[in-house]
Structure 1
Amino acid sequence: MKLSDVSQLLTNDPGPFATAYADVSRVAEAGDDAVALTARAAHDDLVAAGAPAAVAEALQAALGASTSEGGEVARVVVASERGVGFQALVRGRRPQPSTSWGSLPDLGPWLADATLVTPFVLARVDHEGGSVETYADAAARPERSAEETGGDPNFLHKTGDDNREGSVEEEWKRSADAVAAEVERQVRSGPSLVLVGGEPDAVSELRQKLSHLDAEVVELQGGRRNADGGDAAFAEEVTEALRGQAVTAGLHVLEELKQRLGERAQGKSSRAASGVDEVLEALVRGQVDTLLIDPAEAAGTSVTPADQPGLSIGAVTTLDALPADQVLVALAALTDADVRVAHRGTLDGQPVAAVLRWDNTSEPEAPSASR
């Protein structure tokens, strides 16, 4: 996933930063109280770690604010003395909250969940029409939403049994026409994955109309209007479908990394880096296309900016040793690299690896990590 909002934060704010990532679901009866307690605990932990009271209070307010979302959802918040600089929602439950106070945001726990979700369009269709929504990376709230009413909500009350089957079929088609047109409009904005749910006949009709679309269309079982427990079950089905897609995409990147590292071992030209030192150098040169990182493992290594020629982390100017995972993620954000979380065992035994934009032996002018 891209971290453009994090890049803006680091470009404009020298820190230090308070970070919290926690479950903020309100599905239980005492959901509001539970979230308030979670936010208060984050405040207390940050103050104990040395964060100014004003910073901890700003983070507490943002973490505990309403998400306007149903179902399970987690929130990450980053704050400094300049206020809350970054926050994002992620579908699903985060059972163990995490907090951090330091020179850089600590985004590893959030990334472990956020990189399991890809941008997608969600379409629900039946005889009345349907809804189409576009979701960004890991977002619990749609970036774009539209309701379509191509069908007739009163068609079931029409008389004339001889014409009933034909009438129903026409309603499915009209609904699918309207929803398909909106899906096409929203796919043009970027997502290449479309999830489709609703009434089976309308879904089947919609899939046919989307067969020419340059996007992967996945049919879900739920999504019917007014189904008992339908919204919660459908939300879980959406989450599982997205995780499956993200795992598949991650496997493709890991296979590419394995191939490139193999070429390098054979002395051929390579566009891959492995290990903290190699990946750090590639990030400083703006050379990384995709950063693959095991945050917990990378956190065991430290990086001292003053010891790294050319290393600049936006507005952050600390000379202290920093956790390697935080430095690597920050540089990935500043150089517009994609970020994926992976386990060390899949990264050539290293806590971090990278797929590069160009070969080490032919080096165009690189974008600066300080931009």
Structure 2
Amino acid sequence: MHLHWLKPLLGRPAPFVTVHLDASPAEVAGESGPVDRWRSVRRDLERDGAPQALLDELAERIAQPDGRRDSHGRALVADADGVVVDRVLLEAPATSSGSYGPVPALGPVVRASEESVRVLVVAVDRTGADLRWGDADDGEYRRQASETVEGGHDEVRKVRESGLERRGQTRAEDSWQRNAEAVAAALDVRVRDKRPDLVVLTGDVRMVPLVRDALGQQARELTVEVPGGGRGDGIHEAAFHARVTEVVGEHRARRRAAQVEGYREALGRGEGAVTGLDDVVEVLRRGQVDELIVDASVPEGGFAQRTLWVGPGVLQVATSRSDLASIGVLDGDAREMPAEVAVMRAVVGQDAGVTFVEDADVELVDGIGATLRWADESTPSESVPSQSDDQRRLRTVV
């Protein structure tokens, strides 16, 4: 999961207001809805000293419907200049909450977030295709933009008139093939230039396999066939939408499993992965992290109970003030923050990803580990004594 949606927070001045809200609509008359739940959170924030003008802006945002009718959550983060992050979450929190302080309370929000999946839906018929772009980052596929690709060959109907029948069929099938190749060529270009995570191919049952077979390797590897969609009228949009959402969920599961397996293999080799907060901080500071692996089963345990020291730069992170000074951060620029926030800040700063796992799946000292983009002789290792001062980390992983 890439935390691109947190990038607007980088470099923003403190303090911050963070709201983690149950945004589910009221199911029956008289039941509390999002606005009522917000009022309770607001009272707590007022007691903590949050500015009234900022709370008013948050209230206006929350009062605007987000378009979801099912149970879900919403995360909002604001600084003195206004709301910076407003994100719909797949899961509603058990209790709505808010915090006002020097750093945003990102732990629960990040854990509740779903992995963003950039989806390209290709609906084909015998004359061309509609390409519909969308994002699935809150558990649902949502259409954002579309374009049309026309095949250019318009003899697409088979004729059935005595001696002309065979010739008409051949011409029609040739037109289908050429139109499929035109769609596939356009799709190859879009995949290369815009890099979707998933391509959903749907529509005419004769054209779908023709387009799939004409795709280049890069696009074909991303393509999944999903029945029920199309270009014309009569499509059951709700049913098709549900199928796409299911396919997106399966894609997330495969990607998560691949990250876990890559981490497990690298840890077993003793290279390409580290575990334990001290070693993770070391590789974060060096910009080596490809994917952060975090234990989701005990969110209040492990490294979440510790604090780290950070400087103005997003990769200036250390386990102590003295370690931060050793990399050139002046004492006046150093500040202490919860380890979970500091780690996520560094992850966003180097465009790394985050995968949450159950503790039984992999070995995670302190509930945290990482796979690496690169390593050298000074990189902490799980098979030899690490660079960390933490002597309990000197062990061999088998």
- Whether 1:118 aligns to 2:117 is yes
Q: Distance in 1 between matches of 2:24 and 2:125?
A: 32
When residues 153 and 75 of structure 1 are mapped into structure 2, their CA distance, relative to the original with a 3 A threshold, is: farther
State the match for 1:82 in structure 2. Answer: 81
Of residues 204, 222, 233 in structure 2, which corresponds to 1:199? 204
Please state whether the residue corresponding to 2:56 is helix, strand or coil: helix
Q: Distance in 1 between matches of 2:209 and 2:63?
A: 41
- Whether 1:231 aligns to 2:237 is yes
The answer to whether the 8 Å contact 2:292/2:370 transfers is: yes
Once the two structures are superposed, the pairs formed by residues 1-371 of structure 1 within 5 Å of their partners are 1-20=1-20, 22-23=22-23, 37-42=33-38, 44-49=40-45, 50=48, 51-65=50-64, 75-89=74-88, 93-96=90-93, 98-101=96-99, 102-112=101-111, 114-127=113-126, 129-136=128-135, 138=137, 140-142=141-143, 144-150=145-151, 169=173, 172-173=176-177, 176-188=180-192, 189-214=194-219, 215-224=221-230, 225-227=232-234, 230-264=236-270, 270-295=271-296, 297-300=298-301, 301-306=304-309, 307-308=320-321, 309-310=323-324, 319=335, 322=338, 324-350=339-365, 351-359=367-375, 361-362=377-378
When residues 17 and 222 of structure 1 are mapped into structure 2, their CA distance, relative to the original with a 3 A threshold, is: same
When residues 357 and 212 of structure 1 are mapped into structure 2, their CA distance, relative to the original with a 3 A threshold, is: closer
The answer to whether the 8 Å contact 1:131/1:179 transfers is: no
The answer to whether the 8 Å contact 1:43/1:56 transfers is: no
After superposition, the C-alpha distances for 1:92-132 in whole angstroms (9 at most, x for unaligned) are x4344754424433444554464444333221122453321
Residue 220 of structure 1 deviates from its aligned partner by 0.8
Q: Distance in 2 between matches of 1:74 and 1:252?
A: 28
When residues 344 and 195 of structure 1 are mapped into structure 2, their CA distance, relative to the original with a 3 A threshold, is: same
Residue 43 of structure 1 deviates from its aligned partner by 5.0
Please state whether the residue corresponding to 1:261 is helix, strand or coil: helix
After superposition, the C-alpha distances for 1:220-263 in whole angstroms (9 at most, x for unaligned) are 122134446x2222222112212212222222221121122223
Q: Distance in 2 between matches of 1:243 and 1:47?
A: 37
How many residues get paired? 348
When residues 232 and 137 of structure 1 are mapped into structure 2, their CA distance, relative to the original with a 3 A threshold, is: closer
Please state whether the residue corresponding to 1:42 is helix, strand or coil: helix
After superposition, the C-alpha distances for 1:314-360 in whole angstroms (9 at most, x for unaligned) are xxx795652x3333222211232212222222241442211123336
Q: Distance in 2 between matches of 1:251 and 1:39?
A: 38
Please state whether the residue corresponding to 1:218 is helix, strand or coil: strand
The answer to whether the 8 Å contact 1:288/1:332 transfers is: yes
When residues 99 and 195 of structure 1 are mapped into structure 2, their CA distance, relative to the original with a 3 A threshold, is: farther
Residue 209 of structure 1 deviates from its aligned partner by 1.9
Q: Distance in 1 between matches of 2:69 and 2:123?
A: 17
RMSD: 4.2
The answer to whether the 8 Å contact 1:54/1:81 transfers is: no
When residues 13 and 133 of structure 1 are mapped into structure 2, their CA distance, relative to the original with a 3 A threshold, is: farther
Residue 176 of structure 1 deviates from its aligned partner by 3.2
Identity of aligned residues (%): 23
When residues 7 and 192 of structure 1 are mapped into structure 2, their CA distance, relative to the original with a 3 A threshold, is: closer
Q: Distance in 2 between matches of 1:70 and 1:147?
A: 31
When residues 310 and 43 of structure 1 are mapped into structure 2, their CA distance, relative to the original with a 3 A threshold, is: farther
Q: Distance in 1 between matches of 2:98 and 2:150?
A: 48
Please state whether the residue corresponding to 2:363 is helix, strand or coil: coil
Which of structures 1 and 2 has the bigger CA Rg?
2
* Further displaced range: 180-189 or 62-71: 62-71
Q: Which amino acid aligns with 2:342?
A: V
* Further displaced range: 338-347 or 161-170: 161-170
Residue 149 of structure 1 deviates from its aligned partner by 4.3
Please state whether the residue corresponding to 2:120 is helix, strand or coil: strand
